[in-house]
């Protein structure tokens, strides 16, 4: 299935989606949607080291999804609004997550209805 | 054959509208929301295991569920059901506990259609555009990848089961 017409767009999106292919990195993105945070703050909710969190942030940074203030001592991590906007404009990708849930619901409905049909009507 | 999902995320407004039709009557769709066992079967797990801590789909009720990844990280989600009207309508809140206090409010309407079919309409309101876009981005990739995997599984399951 092709959702894009532009190859370089596709490459950038692929990098972004690979970066988001991890629940910890998705949680970091969700956290940063409320405002910038330091590595220590981002590491807090997880049972992994700050070094591991730093690696996750690097992946997000390489995908252009987050930036870090270079000069500030605390080097807080920010969402990169432009790249995020490009992603959210790519609503078909989000559609698939929703679609997946609803297809699972279809499957549940098929099962429950076939159970009903066992009764002679 | 599958029913298309329509998603609208208007620019500049912190809303998401979702519409989807189902080849099942309203009562069956409502039941798939109300029955915790059925709900757990379709709302997750995406790439994570799902564990319903409590789930009461009724006016004044609420829910909390946990997703756990391979490294033991737990992602909690919770909310309350402000109103639930049988086979018709519900309003619920939704909070990802990794981002506390950022709560979306989702209205859900079930409309009966001809031929024992149902239209589900969801209108979600987020506290800010950033919250909405962060939510979309953090939810998106897993959907892209696992949408296909899950589809394969469902197709296999359907093929294995006599219609």
- For position B12, what pLDDT does the model report? 85
Q: What average pLDDT does this structure show over A92-112? A: 79
Does residue A73 form part of some domain? Answer: yes
Look up the domain containing A35 and give its range. Answer: 7-89
User: Higher confidence at residue B161 or residue A7?
Assistant: B161
Angle of CA points B119, B124, B125, to nearest 5°: 155
Nearest by CB: B130 against A18, A33, A93: A33
The complex's ipTM works out to: 0.72
B140/A97 Cβ within 8 A? yes
User: Higher confidence at residue B155 or residue B10?
Assistant: B10
The predicted-structure confidence for A37-59, as pLDDT tens digits, reads as follows 999 999 988 888 999 999 999 99
Residue A34 confidence (pLDDT) above 60: yes
- The four Cα atoms B84, B85, B87, B89 give a dihedral, to 10 degrees, of -70
Determine the longest span between alpha carbons in chain A, in angstroms.
Answer: 74
Q: How far apart are CA B93 and CA B100, in angstroms?
A: 13
Number of domains chain A is built from: 2
CB A112 within 8 Å of CB B30:
no
Do A84 and A94 lie in one domain? The reply is: no
Domains in chain B and their CATH numbers?
5-160 (3.30.530.20)
CB contacts of A96 in chain B (<8 Å) are 143-144, 147-148
Residue A91 confidence (pLDDT) above 70: no
A102/B140 Cβ within 8 A? no
The predicted-structure confidence for B54-91, as pLDDT tens digits, reads as follows 999 999 999 999 988 777 888 889 999 999 999 999 99
Long-range contact list for B31-36, CB < 8 A, 24+ apart? B31/A112, B32/A105, B32/A108, B32/A109, B32/A112, B33/B57, B33/B90, B33/B108, B34/B58, B34/B84
User: If DSSP codes are grouped into helix, strand and coil, which group holds residue A11?
Assistant: helix
Nearest by CB: B24 against A47, A48, A109: A109
Q: What average pLDDT does this structure show over B31-50? A: 80
Does residue A2 form part of some domain? Answer: no
Residue A2 confidence (pLDDT) above 60: no
Do A71 and A99 lie in one domain? The reply is: no
Q: How far apart are CA B158 and CA B3, in angstroms?
A: 16
Does residue A42 form part of some domain? Answer: yes
Flag whether residue A72 sits within 8 Å of chain B, measured between CB atoms. no
Q: Which pLDDT band, with edges at 50, 70 and 90, does B47 fall under? A: low
Do A84 and A97 lie in one domain? The reply is: no
Does residue A117 form part of some domain? Answer: yes
Instruction: Judge if pTM exceeds 0.80.
Output: no
Task: Give the A window 10-39 contacts with B, CB below 8 Å.
Answer: 16-21, 23-24, 26-27, 29-34
Flag whether residue B152 sits within 8 Å of chain A, measured between CB atoms. no
Do A37 and A63 lie in one domain? The reply is: yes
Does residue A61 form part of some domain? Answer: yes
Q: How far apart are CA B21 and CA B140, in angstroms?
A: 21
Do A23 and A62 lie in one domain? The reply is: yes
Do A34 and A83 lie in one domain? The reply is: yes
Do A76 and A18 lie in one domain? The reply is: yes
The rounded mean pLDDT for chain A is: 78
CATH code: domain of residue A16: 1.10.10.10
Do A79 and A106 lie in one domain? The reply is: no
Does residue A13 form part of some domain? Answer: yes
- For position A103, what pLDDT does the model report? 84
Residue B144 confidence (pLDDT) above 50: no
- For position B155, what pLDDT does the model report? 46
- For position A1, what pLDDT does the model report? 36
Does residue A1 form part of some domain? Answer: no
Residue B150 confidence (pLDDT) above 50: no
Does residue A45 form part of some domain? Answer: yes
Handedness of CA A25, A95, B9, A8 (dihedral sign): positive
Do A69 and A12 lie in one domain? The reply is: yes
Angle of CA points A55, A59, A63, to nearest 5°: 165
Q: What average pLDDT does this structure show over B113-137? A: 90
Do A50 and A105 lie in one domain? The reply is: no
Do A60 and A111 lie in one domain? The reply is: no
Do A103 and A80 lie in one domain? The reply is: no
- What's CA A34's distance to the chain center, in Å? 15
User: If DSSP codes are grouped into helix, strand and coil, which group holds residue B119?
Assistant: strand
Flag whether residue B105 sits within 8 Å of chain A, measured between CB atoms. no
Handedness of CA B56, B79, A92, A15 (dihedral sign): negative
């Amino acid at each position: 299935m092709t959702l894009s017409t532009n190859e370089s767009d596709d490459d950038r999106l692929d990098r972004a989606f690979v970066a988001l292919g991890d629940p910890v990195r998705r949680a970091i993105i969700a956290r940063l949607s409320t405002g910038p945070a330091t590595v220590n703050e981002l590491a807090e909710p997880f049972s992994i080291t700050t070094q591991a969190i730093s690696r996750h942030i690097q992946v997000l940074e390489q995908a252009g999804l987050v930036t870090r203030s270079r000069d500030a001592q605390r080097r807080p991590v920010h969402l990169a609004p432009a790249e995020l906007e490009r992603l959210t404009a790519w609503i078909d990708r989000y559609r698939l997550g929703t679609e997946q849930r609803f297809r699972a619901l279809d499957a549940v409905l098929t099962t429950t209805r076939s159970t009903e049909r066992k009764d002679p009507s | 054959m599958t029913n298309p999902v329509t998603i609208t995320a208007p620019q500049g407004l912190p809303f998401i509208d979702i519409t989807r039709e189902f080849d099942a009557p309203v009562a069956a769709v409502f039941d798939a929301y109300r029955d915790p066992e059925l709900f757990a079967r379709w709302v997750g797990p995406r790439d994570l295991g799902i564990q319903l801590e409590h789930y009461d789909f009724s006016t004044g009720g609420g829910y909390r569920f946990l997703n756990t990844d391979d490294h033991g990280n737990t992602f909690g989600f919770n909310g309350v059901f402000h109103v639930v009207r049988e086979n018709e309508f519900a309003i619920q809140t939704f909070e990802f506990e990794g981002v506390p206090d950022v709560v979306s409010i989702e209205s859900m309407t079930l409309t009966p259609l001809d031929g024992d079919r149902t239209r589900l309409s969801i209108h979600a309101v987020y506290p800010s555009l950033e919250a909405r876009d962060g939510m979309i981005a953090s939810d998106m990739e897993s959907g892209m990848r696992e949408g296909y995997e899950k589809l394969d599984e469902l197709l296999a399951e359907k093929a294995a089961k006599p219609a």
